[in-house]
Amino acid sequence: MTVLLNTTIAGQAGTHVLAIGVGKYPHLLNGTAKLATDPMGLEQLESPPVSAKALIDWFLSPVAGAGVFENPDAPLASIEGLASAEQPVVIATPGGPIALAEATQDAIQQAFEDWLDRLKSHPDNVGIFYFCGHGVMVSDHYLLSQEFGHSAQPWTKAFNVSLTVRAVEREIQGSVFFFIDACRNIPRALAMTLGAQPPPLLPADLGADVSRKHVTVIHATGEGQLAFAPLGPTVSRFTSALICALSGYCGTKDPGQQTWTVDGDNLSVAVRTLLAQNEPDHADAGNNKQVSEQLITGPVVPLMRRAFAPKVKVRLDLAPSQRRALYEMYLESSKGNNRVAQTLLDQVFKVELPRGIYEVGALDPAGILPHLLHVDEELAPPMYLFTMKSQP
């Protein structure tokens, strides 16, 4: 376990983060130790330690107002991280660089228990649990720690995250967000093996009432499906979408206030939309389609609250594409205080704008082609995708 930040104040609510990235699996294919009896086709991963570091770095970013973490009701109070990679994962913290401890089963268990203790210390605390690494599924979702496959009892080095969520719901009074960046495919050999059932990080006492205010669980992919990352040591598709959404591309205005709330609902929509746009353009993209899955229960609880409107990634196009270079494509705010345009360029018009109502159109500077006009278009985060049609 590696505590990177702990500014917890007794009697004050805070947000507590636990981030885990497992890329090095010595007992899986291409590992450095004895191969597991059944590695289930699982190999080494480059993305998880990079993805976990990217998320931790985002939480530690000190630039206020630039899409960083902000929650005045539950400010950032602690960050703990684990990562397994070929080289140590080093995090720049306010106190200096810190290398993350490896994500062994024992380390994950201890880090989870410490995180849960901090989360239970105040009834309005907010918890964030992030995992990126190998996952498989039967009836529940199982996540694999670094030593998976070390012995004839491989499942002692994995944990049942589905039951862990149910247990946490009965332990805390605050709110919790789980971001699970792992595959959920169902290996046939696993489904046919008796006893291949790893325990949760905490038993769920079904005799106890659910006590949490709110829980959001966002999976990187749907049941039975795979999760993907670009080739090389890069951030995964899901984590990239998650960080982008958190960085100012989602939020709902609070009535009567100049603040915008990021909660489980609008965050889920943003992640799902951005994830769809992160798919590769190559020919086999259809085989790598990835759609996130969410479970959101309880009243709305802010994960963040910001003093600026969320941004929208605009992708404005014209059909037929041969006419792009003949038009000026533009967007103009209904308030009349913001107009952006792209003139006589043969490319998609890409721009970022604040959420709002806009006039969207295209005009021919030469005055020959008809003016294309769409009034009262709502630009809602995270993206506005629209192709205008120019008739003959």
294, 355: one domain:
no
Residues 101 and 177 in one domain: yes
d(CA 380, CA 310): 8
Pairing of strands 304-306, 126-132: unpaired
Q: Element (H or E) spanning 111, and its range?
A: helix 105-119
The verdict on 287 and 356 lying in the same domain is no
Q: Tell me, yes or no, whether 369 and 241 share the same domain.
A: no
Task: Provide the pLDDT for residue 119.
Answer: 97
Element of type H or E holding 128: strand 126-132
Are 373 and 361 within 8 A, CB to CB? yes
Q: In this structure, are 260 and 316 located in the same domain?
A: no
The domain boundary residue, chosen from 254, 287, 306: 306
Whether residue 28 contacts residue 147, with contact meaning beta carbons closer than 8 Å, is answered with no
Backbone phi, psi, residue 138, to 5°? -125, -105
Query: Where a domain ends, among 283, 306, 329?
Result: 306
The Cα 163–Cα 72 span in angstroms is: 31
Helices (H) and strands (E) in the chain, counts: 6, 22
Distance of CA 5 to the CA centre of its chain: 21
Q: Are residues 236 and 199 in the same domain?
A: yes
- Chain-centre distance for alpha carbon 273: 12
Domain span holding position 224? 2-306
Query: Which residue among 306, 333, 349 closes a domain?
Result: 306
pTM given for the model: 0.94
At 280 the pLDDT is 57
Contacts of 193 (CB under 8 A, 6+ apart): none
pLDDT at 282: 40
Q: How many domains does the chain have?
A: 2
**pLDDT score of 187:** 84
Contact indicator for 30, 101 with CB cutoff of 8 Å: no
Residue 247: CB atoms within 10 Å: 17
How many degrees, rounded to 5, is the angle at CA 29 between CA 25 and CA 31?
50
Contact 355, 380 (CB under 8 A): yes
In the structure encoding, which two tokens stand for residue 311, read together? Answer: 């941004």
Cα-to-chain-centroid distance, residue 182? 11
**DSSP secondary structure, 286-302, as one string:** GGG----EEEEESS---
Q: How many CB atoms lie within 10 A of CB 138?
A: 15
Residue with tokens 């973490």: 69
pLDDT of residue 335: 86
Residue 340 contacts residue 351 (beta carbons within 8 Å): yes
Half-sphere exposure at residue 56, Cβ-oriented, CA atoms within 13 angstroms: 32
- Pair (297, 329) in one structural domain: no
Please tell me whether residues 184 and 102 are part of one structural domain. yes
If asked whether residues 298 and 234 sit together in one domain, one would say: yes
Same domain, 320 and 301: no
CATH at residue 60: 3.40.50.1460
CATH number at residue 338: 2.60.40
DSSP-assigned beta bridge partners for residue 132: 21, 181
Q: Do 243 and 332 fall into the same domain?
A: no
**pLDDT tens for the 392 residues of the chain, in order:** 699 999 999 999 999 999 999 999 999 999 999 999 989 999 999 999 999 999 999 999 876 555 789 999 999 999 999 999 999 999 999 899 999 999 999 999 999 999 999 999 999 999 999 999 999 998 899 999 999 999 989 899 999 999 999 999 999 999 999 999 999 998 877 766 767 789 999 999 999 999 999 999 999 999 999 999 998 999 999 999 999 999 999 999 999 999 999 999 999 999 999 999 876 544 344 567 899 999 999 999 999 999 989 999 999 999 999 999 999 999 999 988 889 999 999 999 999 999 999 999 999 999 999 999 999 999 999 999 999 999 87
pLDDT given for residue 1 in this prediction: 66
Do 357 and 300 share a structural domain? no
